[in-house]
Structure 1
């Protein structure tokens, strides 16, 4: 860890504050001057940093653009663009079974789909895969906690929450479940993300990651590029400030 990187270990409702999107000097956002990550605990962070830095090259991309008749316009193009960067075909209209069959094989898991957060019962929060006759397509937190992912993988939750209110517990339940299942780094959004902005953000993130940049640095570059590109309309914190890195920042 170096002085330009900041790890934040929030408590309770402080998880709802996007510290990286604050402006300490009233001029620049924190993410512009420092790489920033979050961790559930100092103990977990020390455990993660005691191992070799993760080497992540393989990816599985799961996309589902429709849930309960609500459609995300840019989900499939986002997944396809990321697939081209890695030279693979994404799983479009992905079913829950697609994830369960291949989840243990990849260094990176990317999810482009709706997410439903349940503040009353966080274990029922879910990622919305394709609904079919076999199941409702809901990959719940309970499901995730029973799955063993490839150790030290990176999970990117490029999800749009279909609810309007995020409680403190519901907010972190899906990312924390990924950590509990084997992910060491989780990128997710603290609020309902614009799927078009998410497509741009994730594309920059993976471009940098493939260059060899750290996870935290890749996230910082994605935020910076959106901030600096006033023509896109994505320079305001609403579009990039929700994305956080939980866990190993390397």
Structure 2
């Protein structure tokens, strides 16, 4: 359980370079799931749905909407700002890529109640729980990017019972998520760098590596320290 919390990609064995600078690194919640994923053809993804909601319980994420808008421009689409749970349920099934830019709330007592915070409506809290995700059928082999804080919480059992785990169980083959509370502005920089590399034709794990290297080597932003980029990990199919 505690081993999972170690960001191996952010370690620097020689004290000079981080492992991510010279290696592509991915993680898997279980050996069985990884074998299943690698038995299929490598995914080819182009269509994206971007869900953004910048406020939960009066706590605002300042860079959520600009992050979603800039990613939308890379793909030539408009993001769903102030996205509702209904927006997700209606439009997620056909997308190759699902990007979530919003708060996440983790329940350490009952992992199935952990949730992504969509815009609430009069008759709907906006909480998309792990339990909800387990009843959704997503497009097979899709990529999900959770630009939310600390979405990879560990629970007992083989691997994870968490939001990323639920996405994998519902059809995603790859999930980018954060291991701790990521800085909002740094998340915007990292996610944009990732998608630029991905759209250039790199595999998911290579795009993640190149995005991290870009952030590490750009000292002007102040995000070159592992705290800012090391939170992001790739779960599942690395292709």
Aligned length: 236
Distance 1:161 1:114 in 2: 10
Q: 152, 155, 161: which one pairs with 1:169?
A: 155
Q: 82, 98, 112: which one pairs with 1:109?
A: 98
Task: Pick closer, same or farther for the CA change 1:249–1:144 going to 2, 3 Å.
Answer: same
Q: What is the TM-score with the length of structure 2 in the denominator?
A: 0.96
> Does residue 190 of structure 2 align to residue 204 of structure 1?
no
Matching of residues 110-189 of structure 1 within 5 Å: 110-160=99-149, 168-169=154-155, 173-189=162-178
1:41, distance to aligned residue in structure 2 (A): 2.0
Matched residue SS, 2:220: helix
Distance 1:117 1:65 in 2: 17
Distance 2:24 2:126 in 1: 35
Q: Confirm or deny: 8 A CA contact 1:114 1:161 kept in the other structure.
A: no
Q: Confirm or deny: 8 A CA contact 2:103 2:149 kept in the other structure.
A: yes
> Does residue 70 of structure 2 align to residue 81 of structure 1?
yes
Distance 1:32 1:110 in 2: 25
Matched residue SS, 1:208: helix
> Does residue 29 of structure 2 align to residue 20 of structure 1?
no
Q: Confirm or deny: 8 A CA contact 2:150 2:179 kept in the other structure.
A: no
Q: Confirm or deny: 8 A CA contact 1:160 1:193 kept in the other structure.
A: yes
RMSD: 1.5
Distance 1:151 1:179 in 2: 10
Match of 1:246 in 2: 235
Give the structure with the higher percent helix. 1
Matched residue SS, 1:82: helix
Q: Confirm or deny: 8 A CA contact 2:45 2:142 kept in the other structure.
A: yes
Distance 2:111 2:121 in 1: 24
Q: Confirm or deny: 8 A CA contact 2:153 2:162 kept in the other structure.
A: no
Unaligned runs of 5+ in 2: none
1:13, distance to aligned residue in structure 2 (A): 1.8
Distance 1:18 1:108 in 2: 24
Q: 30, 37, 40: which one pairs with 1:41?
A: 30
Task: Pick closer, same or farther for the CA change 1:161–1:68 going to 2, 3 Å.
Answer: farther
